[in-house]
Amino acid sequence: MTEAPWLAAARKDLGLKEIVGSRHEPRVVAFFAESGAAWVKDDETAWCAAFVGAKLAEIGISGTGKLNARSYLDWGAALTKPAPGAIVVFKRGSSSWEGHVAFYLGETATTIRVLGGNQANAVTEAAYAKSSLLGYRWPAGFALPIGGPAKPAAAPGPTLQLGSKGEAVKSLQSGLNALGAKPALVVDGDFGPMTRSAVIAFQKGRQLAPDAIVGPKTWTAFDTAIAQLG
């Protein structure tokens, strides 16, 4: 299946995080400018919609130019079934206007896995409850990826262990850092001894078997923990 180019662009920023304190992450500030909100000069302003707009703009697609996630409910074409790269809009709590927007990756029976910005103050892959879904959108005039709508994933992510490499490992490392891994992991996509130790610590904290293997149960606990960070 050919990946949507804006999703491929978004993957390049996996692991990017806000800077704690008075300094601001330049790339996050750039997302605002690239998405049409150049007046924002900090990384504390909610930036999930800015990230989506910036990644669309990177390949020549105009987003909404707005910073509210729900603005994407009226953008592009509606989808009844999602495909990887679809823009997903979620509600937040009981608010009639707050929300979150990101790019669709896959799903389980109860959650939707997305790649997005401002997820635990970083660019990560995370899972959100299907009960929070407001809608799926697709850029008008762009054909769906070869293969059509995505099928539900059998598990939240691929099985990872010592020696694994790739984008899924980067997502795992980024998420573990957001959850407070000490020492912080280098987000390099290489499941080495430090990543193994962080996984074991996470598993012990969630009362899972500390086998250092990231399988379905650990992924589910990981996604739940990331979603709870906001």
Structure token pair of residue 27: 């790339």
E strands present in the chain:
77-79, 87-91, 99-107, 111-116, 124-129, 133-138
Residue ranges of domains in the chain, CATH in brackets: 5-138 (3.90.1720.10), 167-228 (1.10.101.10)
- Within 8 A by CB and 6+ apart from 44, the residues are 18, 24
pLDDT higher than 90, residue 71:
yes
Contacts of 88 (CB under 8 A, 6+ apart): 82, 101, 102, 103, 104, 112, 114, 128, 133, 135, 136
What gap in Å lies between CA 62 and CA 1, rounded to an integer? 24
Predicted pLDDT of residue 148: 46
Task: Mean pLDDT check: name the lowest of 3-17, 47-61, 138-152, 163-177.
Answer: 138-152
| The predicted structure's pLDDT at residue 199 | 95
Residues 76-92 have pLDDT tens digits of 888 888 889 999 999 98
Q: What is the pLDDT of residue 227?
A: 64
- The answer to whether the Cα torsion of 64, 67, 73, 77 is positive or negative is positive
Report, as an integer, the average pLDDT of 151-163: 69
Residues β-bridged to residue 69? none
pLDDT confidence tier of residue 96, bands split at 50, 70 and 90: confident
Ranking 79-83, 159-163, 201-205 by mean pLDDT, the lowest is 79-83
Of residues 32 and 168, more confidence is placed in 32
Average pLDDT (147-160) is 57
**Rounded Cα distance, 150 and 178, in Å:** 28
CB 194 within 8 Å of CB 172 = no
Q: How confident is the model over 101-115, as pLDDT tens digits? A: 999 999 888 899 999
Q: Is it the case that residue 7 has pLDDT exceeding 90?
A: yes
Is the model's pLDDT at 156 over the cut of 60? Answer: no
pLDDT band at 49 (very low <50, low <70, confident <90, very high): very high
Q: What is the pLDDT of residues 182-193, one digit of tens each?
A: 999 999 999 999
